[in-house]
Structure 1
Amino acid sequence: MSDTVIRIAETTAEILALYNPIIGTINLIVREVRDIYKNAESNKEICLIMYNRVDSAEHAMNTLMRNIEGSEDEEIFENFRKKEYYLAFERFKNLLTNIKEYTNKVSKFDRYKQIINATEVKNKYQKLTKEYDVCIKDLQFTMIMSSEAARVKEAKKVDKAIENTEEALKKLDNTDQKLDMIAKNIDFLIKERSLDTQVKKIDPSELYEPPYKDTNFRKNVFKKIYKGEHDEHEVACKPIDSQNLGTQLTILKKLKSKYILQFYGLSYADTSEVMVSEWAEKGTLKELYHKHDIPWTRKIQIIRDICRGIVFLRRVNIFHHDLRCENVFLSLI
């Protein structure tokens, strides 16, 4: 039987020269899978399972290679001299490439939707994990071979992750449809240009003074109570000349997001034309910084909400062009 074994290397130097390129590629793939897991938007649990598997295999592989260097134990070298073992390493490298591609695809909502359905996601996961177990056995990485109980536990986590992602995608699909409609309306409005009549006109009688007047003014902006169709709102009234703002105001009326101040329409107050929009009780971000010591946890939330507002605008093909602390408004500290 030993006569049929094809030997491809003899000395330690030959072995290292032969295997190091493959090992370098495997180490790179593992780092890429780790980064994919860290930045995953969806199926975080599946990405973690895949990362744990490739990370464990990398650790076993690197430990094995360290044992070769400087060792005089012939048994350690024997497998590395065989062509079959080298080919098993090649298969392992190709498998990790497939795992990386799969993990990358399921980690992002837009890429996940390119996979036909949840069944395909699970089938691909099962195929990759079976191939992984075979490779681990062929390479004799026995210290990381998983038990049947561990595999069952992982499978349940995968099912739960797929279920959560499917639910999230349903919500995203509804949101995408709404955003696509907003974007189409805005594109149409920009092309048409004749927009002044499309801005809602609010009767001045629908605006009245709030009961407390101590914080009702902010530079040239003043607070009113707007009696809307369904309930009352605290609104900011800012004097403007709307003649040259038809396009911007009409577009602003189309934007519906909790991260964008809502624009209600145009009205008159004290003989001045005003734009009526949502009142931000705490003022601008710049004012807030001067008045309060903002904890880091709140700063992170503010940054997150600013980013969400920017993403919303970008999804409907709008660029802000003047993003600064004076233009970021807050209702809560």
Structure 2
Amino acid sequence: MERRSRKGDMDFVLRFAPPTREPFAERRLFPSRQINIHEEIIIHGGLYEIGESNESNEELLNQLKISNQLIGNIAVIGESSKHFDVLISDILDLIKNILELYETIQFNKKICDCLIDRIESTEMSIKSLKRHKEENVGYFLQQNIYYGYHKFIDLLERIRHFITDISQLHGLRKFKSVEKLKEHFRNITREFDDLVINLRLKVTYSKKDQGVRDDEAAEYDGAALTKFLENVDGGITTSNKKINPIFDEIIIKRSQISDSKKVKFQTKKITKLDTKNYDSNNTLNNNNNRGGNIHKMSYESKFVACKYYDSEQSPRFDNELAMLQLLNNSDNIIRFLGLSDLDEGQVLIFDWAEYGDLQSLYEKYTLDWPVKLNIALGICRGLSFLHGCQILHREIRCQNIMINERLEPKVANFNFGRPAKYSRYFVENITAVVHWLAPEKLRQGTKVKFSSKCDIFSFGMLLWEIAFDVIPYRDWSYTNIIDHVKAGKRESIDFGPNPSEVQKDFAKIIRAAWQDDPTLRPGLHELFNQLYDLTQKYPLKEFTPPTRKNVMTDLDKKPSSSNLDNNNNNNIIIDGDNDDPIPEVTDYKIDFLPMIQPILLIEEGIKLHKSGERKPAWECFQSHAKLGNHYAKYWKAHYLTEGYHIQKDIKQGTKFFKEAADEEVADSQLRYAFSLYHDQIIQDTDAFLQYLTLAAENGNATAQFNLGRMYYAGMVGLNRDKEKGLQYLKMAALKNQPRAIQFLNSVKIDRYI
């Protein structure tokens, strides 16, 4: 039903500045159009033959023969394929990027497998075409094939975005439901298969058989994701079982502090605790010392852990401390309460963990299996939250898990929030963590990046540690551990001659997590689901304090460091890899061959627009829009509504804005929303809010500002919700939206808190 809003002080902000982007960075979705190929041209002994004989093909054959006689076979081959060379290079580059993504997949692995299988198969076919140009000259002379390669580039970019979104926790927020995700998967595979047929690429899979695998993958991954979201809680999901939007905020803020030149938060953003709230009979002394630099005190009638803080640390470390407070949304990450000034110096304040770390707990107390299962489940939940924030722990072990008075685990001591002496991850003494370190890091060191799969391997070793109440490879030498793990061997899982059912089930989870091949290790959500099932099968009926062990055994002793081969060269540094440059393509100038009519890439069209060359830019956008590229449709709409180079046509422009908006182009969603706003009257309030919300959820800062202000003030029929409004406003301000920054300053709200 269409509703009209009243005139009023709306004062919406709409910035029409065209977005900038790197190649392959922010292109959105667009539908494909099938192309029909009627002729086939092949080469035999340097003579060009055409599959179907007709008048136009005979003419083409004659032109090819003449060209071959005039300039030679090699020149004809080069001229026929020159416009494809840059496209093939882009395609192979994109495929390489997509295959690299496979190493980072956390969710929906089977769905991603189905897409990767297709892509790898087409990669072989395209490389074969590139190698055998002389046998496929006619193939490279067909305009429809050329257009199809442009469409294939756009499709691969969408697949890359799709895999990125569905494989990471925060990216899954873009899909309203699991069913929508599965529908998107089916549509994109159908489009891929149709385009491969039209491009006549030889692939190694059967469309029918692959369709069966697609259905199985969608059902398996969909069920696993649904179960995880229904049960995980712990700050990962909201009350309605949706993924918490806090992940977006944390990721944006974290990306800002990753640049040491940018000082965004600093200590003024960190909560300062008033010293007058400390109990007077508590001081930092050795009687309350847990060991090392941790002390117990009472603050506002509850115990806290105090850790000396070097106020001379770098600004980046101060920023990371401020970020730590955002992680307080998780129930299974140790809470950082803030800074405080005491007589002995400045201290960091954390929640107190009554039982210390998990290693100390299992060494001193007897833990039954329901308790162990609940601890393992909580650790998995906390680690899932960290990974959702794109934070890797890097040192998962029981010593880095704190246990409170309710035996609830709190993940602690992860790399984020430690003093940052180096811009790259650095382990000064690998002997301290080698017992839990993933085999790919032991084998390849700096040649392989630390990934979420490395954390999952360490989590598997931690589960073994929980099961047997001892660190893995106790008293083994450093070199023996390295050789053992690199050989594909692991700790022994021996529960005796008659293991219980819970022990058998737990062992299966351990073995899955510590697989040698990182791609075989389950995602954390799958491990969570398995652990959750065990906690339901073997429930913790009621909380009771653990029983202290009466007799010290060898397992209770600290591991001996005398057998560890300490070596100053045992350091790990994680580096990124540089991409290889794309080779240049030689250009030929020959007028008498029937050649492809090339079109510019979208990136080139944008550059032309920025330099004021509107005519060639329009031709570029128009060509790609005809091929179904929705990002190009956005630009076409932009030109139509602004009258750039062509006659202004707002009606047609609005039509194209809507087409692109319906395919998730955030800028078009914003523009279409405001196309419904004329003379301070909204023509269709429901549609206006729908598309403005879509643009905001897809990261458009201007949409986030407008929607945030509407919620904050209760405008356009929205119920007033200051908290939700501020959330949108802060997100916009973090992206430097000027009106959002101005608004937050006017209401005295800090965008970084």
Q: Same fold (TM over 0.5)?
A: yes
1:193 corresponds, among 261, 269, 274, to: 274
Counterpart Cα distance in 2 of 1:87 and 1:2: 23
Deviation at 1:122, TM superposition (A): 1.0
1:1-333 alignment runs, 5 A limit? 2=54, 11-68=76-133, 71=134, 73=135, 76-176=136-236, 190-191=271-272, 193=274, 196=277, 242=297, 250=304, 277-279=354-356, 303-305=395-397, 309-310=412-413, 319-321=417-419, 332-333=470-471
Deviation at 1:303, TM superposition (A): 2.1
The answer (yes or no) to whether the contact 1:42–1:107 under 8 Å persists in 2 is yes
Counterpart amino acid of 1:141?
L
Is the 1:37–1:107 Cα contact (8 Å) retained in structure 2? Answer: no
Measured after TM superposition, the shift of residue 42 of structure 1 is 0.9
Does structure 2 conserve the Cα–Cα contact (< 8 Å) formed by 1:92 and 1:135? yes
C-alpha displacement of 1:259: 7.4
| Deviation at residue 111 of structure 1 after TM alignment | 0.5
The amino acid across from 2:204 in the alignment is I
Specify whether residues 195 and 81 from structure 1 end up closer, same or farther in structure 2 by C-alpha distance, changes over 3 A only. Answer: farther
2:175 & 2:279 partners in 1: Cα distance? 42
Give me the whole-angstrom Cα distance separating, in 1, the residues matched to 2:99 and 2:199: 22
The number of equivalent residue pairs is 256
Q: 1:17 and 1:189 mapped to 2: Cα distance? A: 58
Partner residue in 2 for 1:295: none
Determine the C-alpha separation between the residues in 2 that align with 1:279 and 1:259. Answer: 14
Render the CA deviation track for 1:85-128: whole Å, top value 9, x for unaligned.
11122211211111111111101010012211111111111111
Task: Among all aligned residue pairs of Structure 1 and Structure 2, give the percentage whose two residues are the same amino acid.
Answer: 13
Residues 85 and 139, structure 1, Cα contact 8 Å, conserved in 2: yes
CA positional deviation for 1:168: 2.4
Looking at structure 1, the residues matched to 270 and 148 of structure 2 have their Cα atoms a distance apart, in angstroms, of 61
- CA distance 1:322–1:35, shift in 2 (3 Å): closer
Residue 132 of structure 1 deviates from its aligned partner by 0.8
Q: Deviations over 1:177-222 (max 9, x none)?
A: 6998xx9xxx9993552574589x9xxxxxxxxxxxxxxxxxx679
Structure 1 pair 195–29 and aligned structure 2 pair: CA distance change class (3 A)? farther
TM-score by length of 1: 0.59
Q: 1:121 to 1:242 in 2, by over 3 A?
A: closer
Opposite residue 396 of structure 2, the aligned amino acid is: R
Give 1:55 deviation, angstroms: 1.3
Q: Measure, in 1, the Cα distance between the counterparts of 2:161 and 2:296.
A: 55
State which drifts further: 164-173 or 132-141: 164-173
Distance in 1 of aligned mates of 2:171 and 2:162: 10
One-letter amino acid of the counterpart of residue 83, structure 1: Q
* Runs of 5+ unmatched residues, structure 1: 202-219, 224-234, 262-274, 284-300
Aligned to 2:264: none
Deviation at 1:153? 2.1
- How big is each residue's C-alpha offset from its partner over 1:24-82, in whole Å with a ceiling of 9 and x where there is no partner? 111111111112121011111112221121111111110121111xx3x4xx2212111
Aligned to 1:271: none
Local SS of the residue matching 1:250: strand
- Inter-CA distance 119–238: structure 2 relative to 1 (3 Å threshold): closer
Alpha-carbon distance, 1:239 to partner:
9.8
RMSD of equivalent CA atoms? 4.9
Offset, 1:141: 1.7
Alpha carbons 1:46, 1:161 under 8 Å: kept: yes
